[in-house]
């Protein structure tokens, strides 16, 4: 091996090792920033170009550091939008009294919004679950539950019109279901039954939940009743599997 070739080989190994140390340094620095909550769940990280300028490296090195963060599940990419900090999985307790804000445990404050409402007639199966006549009117509300502005669940609730008058207006004014029931004269309610199945996200669900098509979802179908056993809601919720831990309790 000629001297020139030997020198070039050593220089190439040196540069390769230096590049390895550089992207690892960037990775460690960003991971510390995330763990110390300088970047909170849902917040956008600097772009590759900004990181390259900040650490005086090329964009390929910055890209490799971001890829390592993704591999650890600390961040996720949104096409055309950038790289965002991933929220830790939230825990949702399902019991006799399931309330979104009270039963959800998370690093960040949860929020709930109603995205659409309408009135229609109940199908035969829906009527049976709600103990009403087939073709009776039901109020329908759809919406999203989020943590740090990241959607973690999509829900559809059906309310029998006969015992929840005006509930859609109440929900649009305040998305709290408990408050809406109270405004309808229902001071308390219980979870009567819950069915949980695992499904894959459809194209529309992946758009709503900002996840990949066919991502794992937890489908939770439940009936809530008044204390006397009268059904007041048939709800179907799709939880983003990677963001949620469901726990069952008797309370």
Q: What does the block give as tokens for 62?
A: 């910055």
pLDDT at 19: 52
CA distance 210 to 228: 39
The answer to whether residues 138 and 125 touch, using CB atoms and an 8 Å cutoff, is no
Tokens representing 50 are 């900004």
pLDDT tens readout for residues 143-180: 999 887 778 899 999 999 999 999 999 999 999 999 99
Beta strands in 126-248 (DSSP E): 137-147, 150-160, 190-200, 216-225, 231-240, 244-248
Sign of torsion, CA 186 191 192 197?
positive
pLDDT given at position 74: 78
Nearest residue to 99 via CA among 191, 163, 167, 182:
191
Distance, CA of 103 to CA of 105 (rounded, Å): 7
Tokens of 85: 């900090």
Candidates 245, 196, 189; CA nearest to 222 is: 196
User: Cα–chain-centroid distance for residue 159?
Assistant: 24
pLDDT, residue 9, reads 43
Residues of 152-176 as b/e, b for ≥16 C-beta within 10 angstroms? bbbbebbbbbebbeebbebbeeebb
Beta bridge partners of 220: 196, 237
The two structure tokens encoding residue 71: 């591999």
- The per-residue pLDDT for 108 is 67
Residues of the chain with pLDDT under 70: 1-20, 87-89, 100-108, 249-251
Angle at 78 between CA 197 and CA 50, to 5 degrees: 150
Question: Cβ neighbours of residue 166 under 8 Å, at least 6 residues apart?
Answer: 183, 184
The closest of 14, 25, 18 to 62, measured between CA atoms, is 25
- Are 27 and 65 in contact by the 8 Å Cβ rule? The answer is yes
Q: How far apart are CA 114 and CA 98, in angstroms?
A: 18
- pTM (predicted TM-score): 0.69
The rounded distance, in Å, linking the Cα atoms of 25 and 143 is: 42
């Amino acid at each position: 091996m000629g001297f020139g070739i030997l020198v070039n080989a050593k220089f190439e190994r040196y540069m390769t090792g230096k590049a390895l140390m550089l992207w690892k340094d960037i990775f460690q620095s960003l991971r510390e920033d995330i763990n110390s909550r300088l970047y909170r769940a849902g917040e956008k990280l600097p772009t590759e170009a900004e990181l390259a300028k900040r650490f005086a490296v090329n964009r390929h090195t910055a890209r490799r550091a971001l890829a390592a963060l993704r591999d650890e599940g600390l961040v996720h990419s949104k096409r055309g939008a950038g790289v965002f900090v991933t929220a830790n999985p939230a825990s949702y307790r399902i019991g006799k009294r399931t309330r979104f804000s009270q039963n959800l445990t998370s690093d960040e404050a949860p929020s709930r919004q109603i995205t659409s409402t309408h009135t229609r007639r109940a199908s035969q199966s829906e009527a049976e679950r709600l103990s009403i006549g087939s073709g009776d009117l039901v109020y329908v509300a759809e919406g999203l539950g989020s943590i740090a502005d990241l959607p973690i669940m999509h829900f559809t609730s059906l309310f029998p019109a006969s015992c929840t008058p005006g509930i859609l207006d109440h929900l649009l004014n305040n998305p709290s279901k408990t408050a809406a029931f109270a405004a309808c004269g229902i001071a308390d309610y219980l979870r009567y039954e819950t069915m949980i199945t695992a499904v894959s996200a459809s194209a529309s669900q992946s758009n709503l939940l900002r996840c990949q098509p066919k991502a794992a979802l937890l489908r939770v179908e439940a009936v809530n009743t008044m204390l006397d056993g009268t059904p007041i809601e048939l709800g179907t919720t799709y939880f983003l599997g990677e963001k949620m831990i469901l726990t069952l309790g008797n309370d």
